[in-house]
Amino acid sequence: MKVSTRTISGFGILMLLAFAALGYQLRVIHQMQSINRDLSAINFRSASTALRMVQTSGTIREFSGKYFVSGDDYLAPLQNEREQFLRDLAELQNTVRSEKERSQLQQLSEAIADYWKIFNRVRQQSQSRQLDYMPPDLTIAIDHLEAQTEVLLDAVKVSIAEQVERAAVAGQKAEWFSWAAGALAIVFGTIIAILSVRAIHQPLRRLTQGTRALSKGHFWHRLPAHGGSEFSELARDFNVMAERLGQLDQMKKDFVSHVSHDLKAPLASMRQVMHLLLQEIPGSLNEQQKSLLRLSYNSAERLAAMVGNLLDVSRMEAGTMEYEMASRDLVALIKSVIDEFEVQAQEKGIRLLLETDQPSVSVECDRDRIIQVIGNLLENALKFSPNNSEIVTRISKAANGSIRTTVTDRGPGVPDGHKSKIFRKFHQVKQGKKMAGQGVGLGLAICKTIVEAHHGEIWVDDNPQGGSTFSFILQAAAAEEVLKCGQSV
C-alpha cells in the first residue's frame, strides 16, 4: 500500500472519527442548551412563583388572624391574597412537567380550597361576636396550606436539581467521548487529535467551572461568549441564567434592606407615642390601660430590635459594615452591658455575675460592635434561663495571648445537631414547638460575623450544670495600645 494511500486512508478514518465525534458533540451541546434554557426560563419562573406562594401563604395567615381580631377591614385584602395565590397556582399548572410536581399542585389546590371552606364556615359562625384568637380549625387549615406550599417549593427545587444533574451527566459523557476520540486519533495524527480535543474540552471545562461557581452562590461568574459557535451560544445562555439568578438574589437582599429601613421611622413614632402615654402626659390612665400600653411598647421594642438586626444583616451582605478598631477595656464593656440588663434580670430573679482575674483586660475591637455581641448573648441567656438562676460571664486568657469571653446560663441548652447551625441566618432550634422568647434567628449570625471580622471565633458548648456556654475569642491589644488606653483614661 502506498504511503499516500495509507495517509489518505488514515486521514479518512480520522475524518470519520472526527465527524462522528462532532455529530455526537453537537447533539450533546443542543441537549445541554435545551436544559439550560429550561432552567433559565420555565424553572426559574416556577421557582419564583413557588417562592411568592410561600410568602402569600404567610400573608394569608396574618390577615386571617387579623380578620377575627379586627373585623371586616381585612376581608378584602385576604380575598386579594387568596386570588393571587390561585393565579400563581394556575400559572404553575401550565409550567410544571414532572408527575411529582403535578401531584403536589393537586394537593395544594385541595389545601387552599379546604382553607377557604373552613374560613367561610368559621366566619359565618362568628358573625355575632369578635374573637381574640384564630379558631383551631382554621389554624390547622392554614398550617396545612403553608406546609403544602413548602412541599411544592421543594418539589420545584428538586426538579431544577434533576435537570442540572442531567446537564452535568451529559457534559461528563461528552468529555469522556472527547478523550476517547482523541486517543484513537493520536494513532493517525497527533496534532489534529490534540487540536480537536482542546477545542472541545476547554469550553466544557469552563462550563463545569461556571456551574460549580453558581452552585456556590457566585452569580457574578461569567463565561467567555465571543464568537458564533454553539459553545458561545451555550455560554451566552449560561450568562443570561447567571444574571437572572443574581437579580433574584439581589431582589431578595434589597427587599429585606428596604423594608427594614422603611419600618424604622414608623416604629420610632409608635414607641415615642406609647412612651408619652405611659408617662401620662396626655392624661391619666388606669392600670389596665397601662398594662396594655406596656405590652404594646415591649412588642414595639422587640420589633425594633428585629428590624435593626435585619439592617445589620443587609449591611454585612453588602460589605458596608464599618469597624473602628481600637484598644478597649473588655471588663468595662461587659459591666456596661450587665448594667443595661440588670432591671430585666431582677424581674426574673436572675443574678448577673462577672468573673475575671484582672480588673481590666484590653482587647483590639470596635466598642459598639462588641457591646452588640455581648448584649445578644446576655439577652439570649435571659430569655431562656429559668427564674431564680444565675448567668455568669467569665473573662480568661486563651492560646496565643488572646482573650476568651464566655456567657454561661442554666437554660434548656442547644442540641448537638444545632450547635453549628444556630450561627446561620434565620436558623432556630425547634423542639416540638417554638420556645417562648425566640426571635427570627439573626442575633447569633450577626455575632458570628462581627467576631470573625475581629479575626476571632465564636462557638457554643454544653454547661455541665445544665444549659449552654457561649464563648468567643478576641485578640489582646498590643502593649503600646494598652499604654495609650491607660493614659487616655
> Considering the domain boundaries, does residue 288 fall inside one?
yes
CA pair distance 468, 383, nearest whole angstrom: 13
Please count the structural domains in the chain.
Answer: 3
Amino acid (1-letter code) at residue 31: Q
Question: In this predicted structure, what is the pLDDT of residue 131?
Answer: 59
Q: Which pLDDT tens digit goes with each residue over 251-286?
A: 766 665 555 556 666 766 776 777 777 777 877 878
Is residue 203 helix, strand or coil? Answer: helix
> Which of 216, 238, 273 lies at the terminal end of a domain, its last residue?
216
The H-assigned helical ranges of 71-135 are: 75-95, 99-125
Same domain for 292 and 336?
no
Whether 259 and 155 share a structural domain: no
pLDDT, tens only, 393-414:
999 988 787 899 999 998 888 8
Buried b / exposed e along 90-127 (16+ C-beta atoms within 10 A): eebeeebeeebbeebbeebbebbeebbebbeebbeeee
Look up cell 421557582; give the residue: 47
User: What mean pLDDT do residues 123-127 have?
Assistant: 73
What percentage of the chain's residues is helix, strand, coil (to nearest 5)? 70, 10, 20
3-class secondary-structure state, position 212: helix
User: Are residues 63 and 147 located together in one domain of the fold?
Assistant: yes
What pLDDT does residue 393 have? 93
In a domain, 222, yes or no: no
How many whole angstroms separate alpha carbon 445 and alpha carbon 448?
Answer: 5
Are 143 and 282 in a shared domain? no
pLDDT band at 290 (very low <50, low <70, confident <90, very high): confident
Question: What gap in Å lies between CA 188 and CA 192, rounded to an integer?
Answer: 9
Q: How confident is the model at residue 319, as a pLDDT?
A: 58
Amino acid at site 390:
E
> What average pLDDT does the segment 217-237 reach?
78
Co-location of 260 and 339 in the same domain: no
Top-confidence range, 100-114, 168-182, 307-321, 460-474: 460-474
Residue 430 in grid coordinates: 425547634
- Residue 60, classed as helix, strand or coil, is helix
| Residues 166 and 187 grouped into a single domain | yes
pLDDT tens, position by position, 38-50: 555 556 677 788 7
pLDDT of residue 305: 63
Q: Which CATH number fits the domain that encloses residue 309?
A: 1.10.287.130
Same domain, residue pair 192 and 283: no
CATH number at residue 336: 3.30.565.10
- Is residue 343 domain-resident? yes
pLDDT score for 332: 92
Residue 225 lies in a domain: no
- 262 and 338 in a common domain: no
Cell numbers of 160, please?
A: 431544577
The answer, yes or no, to whether residue 295 has pLDDT greater than 80, is no
The answer to whether residue 18 sits within a structural domain is: yes
Pairing of strands 326-329, 403-408: unpaired
Lowest-confidence range among 117-121, 174-178, 325-329? Answer: 174-178
Q: How confident is the model at residue 4 (pLDDT cuts 50, 70, 90)?
A: very low
388 found inside a domain: yes
Please report the pLDDT score of residue 472 as a whole number: 93
Are residue 446 and residue 344 in the same domain, yes or no? yes
> Quick check: is 110 in a domain?
yes
Residues 378 and 283 in one domain: no
**422 and 348 Cβ atoms separated by less than 8 Å:** no
Measured in whole angstroms, how far is the alpha carbon of residue 177 from the centre of its chain? Answer: 40
Strand locations in 320-375 (E): 326-329, 351-356, 362-365
Residue 261 shares a structural domain with residue 191: no
Structure confidence at residue 247 as a pLDDT band (50, 70, 90):
confident
Asked if 434 contacts 330 with a C-beta cutoff of 8 angstroms, the reply is no
- CA dihedral 278→282→285→288, nearest 10 degrees, is -60
355 forms beta bridges with 394
Phi first, then psi, for residue 469 (nearest 5°) are: -125, 110
Q: What is the pLDDT of residue 320?
A: 56
Residue 450 in any domain: the answer is yes
Q: Kindly state whether residues 201 and 286 are assigned to the same domain.
A: no
| pTM exceeds cut of 0.75 | no
**Averaged confidence pLDDT in the chain:** 76
Sequence-distant (≥ 6) Cβ neighbours of residue 251 within 8 angstroms: none
pLDDT at 5: 44
Residue of 157, 159, 60, 69 lying closest to 111 (CA atoms): 60
| Phi, psi (deg, nearest 5) at residue 414 | -120, 125
Domain range enclosing 402: 326-428+437-488
Instruction: Write the pLDDT tens digit of every residue in 178-205.
Output: 677 656 666 666 676 566 666 667 777 8
pLDDT the model gives residue 391: 92
Residue the block writes with cell 421594642: 301
